[in-house]
Each structure stands twice: as C-alpha cells, then as structure tokens.
Structure 1
Amino acid sequence: MNEVNNAYAYTPEQPGAGKGKPRRGRLIAGAVVGVLVLAGGVATTTWYLGDRSGTSVAPRVTDGRWAKGITPEWMSTHMGLELPKTAGSPQAAYETTSRFDTGLLTFTLTRAEAEKFLAKYPPAGKWLTPSPSLPSKAPHDFAHLGLPEPETLTTGTRYGDVCPGAPDTTDDPYATSDPQCVNLYAHAYTPTHTRIYLRAHYEPGISPLPETASPA
C-alpha cells in the first residue's frame, strides 16, 4: 500500500529542474483513479440490474390496457367454452399488452351444475390441487374484477389446463392440432356452490375484439 502511495507522491525537485512533471504525474494518477471509480460504478449498476449470474432482468410490462365492452358471452366464445345458462354472477375482462393478451372469465354454479360443466371440459391430464407451500400469485388478473386470484385459494380448489376443441387422439394418435388451452380453476366456496375461474393467454394483437370494445 505504501509503495502505491509513494509512486504517486510529490517529490520536491531542484529549482528549475523538470518543471511541471510532478503535476503531470498527479493528473495521470487522478485520471486512473477516476476510470476505476467509473468502472466500479458500472459494475455495481450491472449487479443491481441483473441477477447474480450476470443475466439482465427483463423489464416489467407496463403497457397493459383493459379493454372496455368485453362481455362474458364474447369471452366464452373466444375461449371456446360454453357459458352455462344457469351461470350466476358472470364477469369477463380482456387485457392487451405488447407481450401477450389475457382473457378472463368467471361465474358461479351450483355444485351439481359445476360437476356437469367440469365433466364436459376435462383437463389435459389430472385435476390438481394447489399446495399451501407454493408462493401465492400477486393480485392482478381477477383482482381487476374484484375477486381473489384463484392460485391463492388452497381450500376446496382444483385446477387444470382445459383445451376445448382438442382432437380425440384415441382414434387419431398422430393428430397434430394445437388447440388454445385455458387455465381452469374450480373453487367450492360453499357446500352448495362453486366458482369457475378461466384464464387464457393469446398472442398480442391477433385477437379481434368486439366492435364495442376499446382500450381502457
């Protein structure tokens, strides 16, 4: 440490010998220190903007807009799922962003009606149940409709991906159709009633919104 300090220390010279040299050395030292400080600042900024592996964190989507005029009937048709005539408290919403669009549909049914609906639209696999140990989804989607996010409902809830219009592969094992799948949550919130939550994601800008819809 003393050797480094001595290298940049000012040493008096004989009068008239090498005027300006000590000052030049101090200027060069100051420039080096400035470059190191700047480089350290850039490295620190990169660390804060990225994760510990050095990968930059993707910016959050801030251009989301909820479209007006979205009806439950339109959303059910867009998802390819039936909206039961006996559905209570139906609500729908559609958010557009530069990355993807999100369609939402929710309604309530009696427990018996819900079982018929779920039998008509079985999941692509088995029904799953949320684990209390999993982190809860931050309120955003269904919070727009004044409801909790279905991922936070760990009691009396089952979920799965429903793919309406998917081909019956029992007769055609080589079918390659890729239907639009929908996230379905069924929450038995009382002994007699179940709320259905439906969420689907779409490529941005390709979904023709109803004529009455407009960005919020």
Structure 2
Amino acid sequence: MNDVNNAYAYASEQPGTGKGGRRKGWLIAGVAVGVLVLASGVATTAWYLGDQSDTSATARVSDAQWAKGITPEWMSTHMGLELPKAAHSPQAAYETTSRFDTGILTFTLTRAEAEKYLAKYPPDGKWLTPSPSQPAKAPHDFAHLGLDEPETLTTGMRYGDVCPGAPDTTDDPYATSDPQCVTFYAHDYAPTRTRIYVRAHYEPGISPLPGN
C-alpha cells in the first residue's frame, strides 16, 4: 500500500496540477493497485497449480507397488488358466494401484505344445498380428520380470483377448455370464519355441493376495 500512496502523492504534487492533475493521480493509483492485485493472483495460481501437479505426480509414483509372494501357480489360477506342466521358466507378478490392479504371467513352450495350449483358449474373435508401424510401449509390466513388453515385438507375434470359462453360447444365446478376460500374446521367438505372455486387469483391492 505504501507504493500506491507514493504513486498518488507523486502525481498530485506535480506543478500545474488542477482538477486534471487530481484525476491523473487517481488514475495512476488505480493502475498501481490493479498491477499489485494481478501479480498476486498470478503468483497464487502458479503456486497452486505447481503444488497440485507435484502432488499428483508423487501420488502416482508412490501408489503403485508389486505384491509379494505371487507365484505362477497362483496367478494362473487367479486368471482362470491352466499352467501347463511342460511350461518352462514360468514367472508371474501382480501390481496394485488405486486405479486398477495388473496381473501378469509368462512361460515358454515348444511350438507344438504352444499350439495345443492356445487351442484350449480361443480368442474372442481371431488372433491378431501387430502392425510393424505400431507405436512402442514404454517398458513397465513385463520389464519387471526382465522381459521385453509383448507390444514391442512384431515378428512372430499374435495376440487376442481370451475369456477363460466363458460359456458356449451356441446352445444358449441368452447366457449372461461375464467371465474375467485376459490378453494373450504368443511370440514364436525361436524356430522351436514360443513364449506365452498373459496380462489381466482387475478392480483395485478385490483380489485376496497371498499372505494377506
């Protein structure tokens, strides 16, 4: 307020000021007040937005965590899938967040074993193949297991949504069961080997995790 008073005093003390001088003094004082209010508002807004952005970013980072004690056997059962006895190097993990949970499962089979396994779980529609120009996916889910994300693989890859335990609606078109669906990826990474990737999303907090 001292700045405002000084501005007004300076204007009113100028030689030759009459009524017009007083009007100029009030005008200068008004402009000074407006500048101070605007500057205060901008500073407050910038602080608020910066604080909100930092808080939300920190919350997203600290919110996600990988559950302990997750085994391939538990994950396959939770997904409603069979874990083949012939599965080599099976791995699984489960990440919890406040928005949704993510379960992942992977293992390898021979090409022949993979074909038999995939025949048990036909996709909703048909198997799809990725486009060579598809955008890359940032490493996250399977990177936790030391693997490439299946979305980054284009050669020898097929994928589709699979709903284990879905009823056969051929004889019952009014079936209303809504099974949990998962996304399957089958990658023929070697002449005689195929890696199976499975990912599923769940509502947060509804899965009874091992050890809880």
TM-score, structure 2 length as denominator? 0.81
Q: Which residue of 1 aligns with 2:34?
A: 32
1:100 matched to 2:71: no
Q: How far does residue 117 in structure 1 lie from its aligned partner after superposition? A: 0.5
Q: How far does residue 61 in structure 1 lie from its aligned partner after superposition? A: 3.0
Within 1, Cα distance between the matches of 2:166 and 2:40?
Answer: 58
Q: Which residue of 1 aligns with 2:202?
A: 202
Q: Which residue of 2 aligns with 1:133?
A: 133
Q: Which residue of 2 aligns with 1:61?
A: 60
- Partner of 2:107, secondary structure, is strand
Q: Which residue of 2 aligns with 1:52?
A: none
Task: Provide, for residues 49-82 of structure 1, a one-character-per-residue CA deviation record: whole Å limited to 9, x for no partner.
Answer: 9xxxxxxxx9683210101110000000000000
Q: How far does residue 25 in structure 1 lie from its aligned partner after superposition? A: 2.3
Within 2, Cα distance between the matches of 1:189 and 1:179?
Answer: 30
Across the two proteins, how many residue pairs are aligned to each other? Answer: 195
- Partner of 2:60, secondary structure, is coil
Q: How far does residue 19 in structure 1 lie from its aligned partner after superposition? A: 8.4
Letter paired with 2:197: Y
Letter paired with 1:112: A
Q: How far does residue 27 in structure 1 lie from its aligned partner after superposition? A: 2.4
Within 2, Cα distance between the matches of 1:16 and 1:74?
Answer: 90
Q: Which residue of 2 aligns with 1:5?
A: none
Task: Provide, for residues 142-168 of structure 1, a one-character-per-residue CA deviation record: whole Å limited to 9, x for no partner.
Answer: 000000000000000000001001010
Within 2, Cα distance between the matches of 1:39 and 1:187?
Answer: 56
Which runs of structure 2 are paired with 1:1-216 in the superposition (5 Å)?
12=14, 14=16, 22-35=24-37, 61-62=60-61, 63-211=63-211
Q: Which structure carries more relative contact order (alpha carbon 8 Å, separation 6+)?
A: 1
Within 2, Cα distance between the matches of 1:91 and 1:194?
Answer: 15
Q: Give structure 2 stretches of 5+ with no counterpart.
A: 1-10
- Partner of 2:198, secondary structure, is strand
Contact 2:68/2:210, CA 8 A, preserved across alignment: no
Letter paired with 2:150: P
Q: How far does residue 28 in structure 1 lie from its aligned partner after superposition? A: 1.0
Task: Provide, for residues 161-195 of structure 1, a one-character-per-residue CA deviation record: whole Å limited to 9, x for no partner.
Answer: 01001010101111111100001000000010000
Q: How far does residue 26 in structure 1 lie from its aligned partner after superposition? A: 1.6
Within 1, Cα distance between the matches of 2:205 and 2:17?
Answer: 78
Choose 29-38 or 170-179, whichever is displaced more: 29-38
Q: How far does residue 36 in structure 1 lie from its aligned partner after superposition? A: 5.1
TM-score, structure 1 length as denominator? 0.79
Normalized per residue, the structure richer in helix is 2
Name the % identity.
71
Task: Provide, for residues 103-137 of structure 1, a one-character-per-residue CA deviation record: whole Å limited to 9, x for no partner.
Answer: 00000000000000110001011100011211111
